[in-house]
Amino acid sequence: QVQLVESGGDLVKPGGSLRLSCAASGFSVSGHYMSWVRQAPGKGLEWISYSDNSGTKTNYAGSVKGRFTISRDNAKNSLFLQMSSLRAGDTAVYYCAREGIRGRLDVWGQGTTVTVSS
């Protein structure tokens, strides 16, 4: 069964750091680009980062560039998101997603919740 499971979400103070993980099963992440997408409370979906198959090429939304880092461990079939200098505006449910052909996000995890509050 093709599946993504996120973990690592937590309550963190402004300025703090957090590392999210996304474990894949039923397929190899090495064969796919992967993305992180978030949804803040009452807001729409916001793409925040992608990684190519090897992790060599990455990019970020302007709202997180310089603060978040995407990485992957293909041997462990996992994707990660290191978040630092967290702000209240980063409060959201974070989803990892698999990219299929022509960039469609065809498999999504159930999400992990990050709350940034003092």
Partner 1 sequence: SYVLTQPPSVSVAPGQTARITCGENNIGRKSVHWYQKKPGQAPVLVVFDDSDRPSGIPERFSGSNSGNTATLTISRVEAGDEADYYCQFWDLSSDRHAVFGGGTQLTVL
| Residues of the shown chain interacting with partner 1 in the complex, contacts defined by CB under 8 A | 35, 37, 39, 44-47, 50, 57, 59-61, 95, 97, 100, 102-106, 108-111
CB closer to partner 1 out of 5 and 16: 5
Compare residues 12 and 37 and give the one whose CB is closer to partner 1.
Answer: 37
Complex with partner 1: residue 28 or 63, whichever CB lies closer = 63
* Rg of the chain in Å (alpha carbons): 13
Eight-state DSSP code of residue 26: S
| Residue with smaller CB distance to partner 1, 10 or 46 | 46
Distance CA 115, CA 106 (A): 26
| Shortest reach from residue 70's CB to partner 1, in Å | 12
Q: Is the dihedral of CA 103, 105, 111, 113 positive or negative?
A: positive
- Tell me which amino acid residue 45 is: L
- Alpha-carbon gap, residue 81 to 83, rounded angstroms: 6
d(CA 92, CA 73): 24
